[in-house]
């Protein structure tokens, strides 16, 4: 993840991992990843798992500190994925649900052969230098068979 100012690593109990990236404040957000894998034939969905607010545990209870949350309501975050065989998906979404881990749907792709590895590039971008934004935890990226929803309700938004 590249930021101009204020990234911390924080412990977040309800996160998938023990430590997650916490973005306190920035003008420019760009998180990118890439992987190559042999997927069984089928359709897959890619999600970013995000949380607005600093998640913590106080007095044995889960709490969310909203003090740094700002700027995500000004312009949408753009999510993209592309594959080595030419597939492309793009979506946009305002981040507006503080206090919960949300799976934001990036897009879908198809694996046509389990014997040929597919390279997947994915990103989450909010490049608008007219305002700062902050208070975002980035936990993980998930790739699941399309339609598979293990215990979460992903956010669906418009395709751009």
Residue pLDDT, tens place only, 110-129: 999 989 999 999 999 998 88
For the residues 4-24, what does the mean pLDDT come to? 54
Q: Give the residues across from 106 on adjacent strands.
A: none
Taking the domains of the chain in order of start, what are their residue ranges?
7-145
For the residues 98-110, what does the mean pLDDT come to? 90
Q: Give the residues across from 70 on adjacent strands.
A: 134
CB 6 within 8 A of CB 26: yes
The domain defined by 7-145 folds into Jelly Rolls (2.60.120)
CA 13 to CA 81: how far, in whole Å? 29
pTM for this prediction: 0.78
């Amino acid at each position: 993840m590249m930021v101009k100012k204020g990234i911390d690593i924080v412990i977040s109990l309800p996160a998938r991992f023990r430590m997650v990236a916490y973005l306190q404040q920035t003008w420019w957000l760009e998180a990118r990843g890439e992987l190559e894998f042999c997927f069984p034939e089928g359709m897959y969905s890619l999600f970013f798992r995000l949380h607005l607010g600093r998640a913590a545990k106080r007095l044995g209870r889960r709490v969310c500190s909203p003090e740094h949350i700002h700027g995500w309501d000004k312009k949408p975050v753009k999510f993209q994925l592309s594959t080595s065989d030419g597939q492309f998906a793009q979506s946009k979404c305002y981040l507006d649900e503080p206090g919960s881990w949300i799976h934001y749907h990036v897009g879908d792709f198809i694996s046509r052969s389990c014997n040929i590895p597919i390279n997947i590039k994915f990103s989450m971008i909010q490049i608008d230098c007219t305002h700062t934004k902050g208070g975002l935890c980035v936990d993980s990226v998930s790739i699941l068979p399309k339609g598979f929803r293990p215990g979460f309700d992903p956010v669906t938004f418009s395709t751009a």
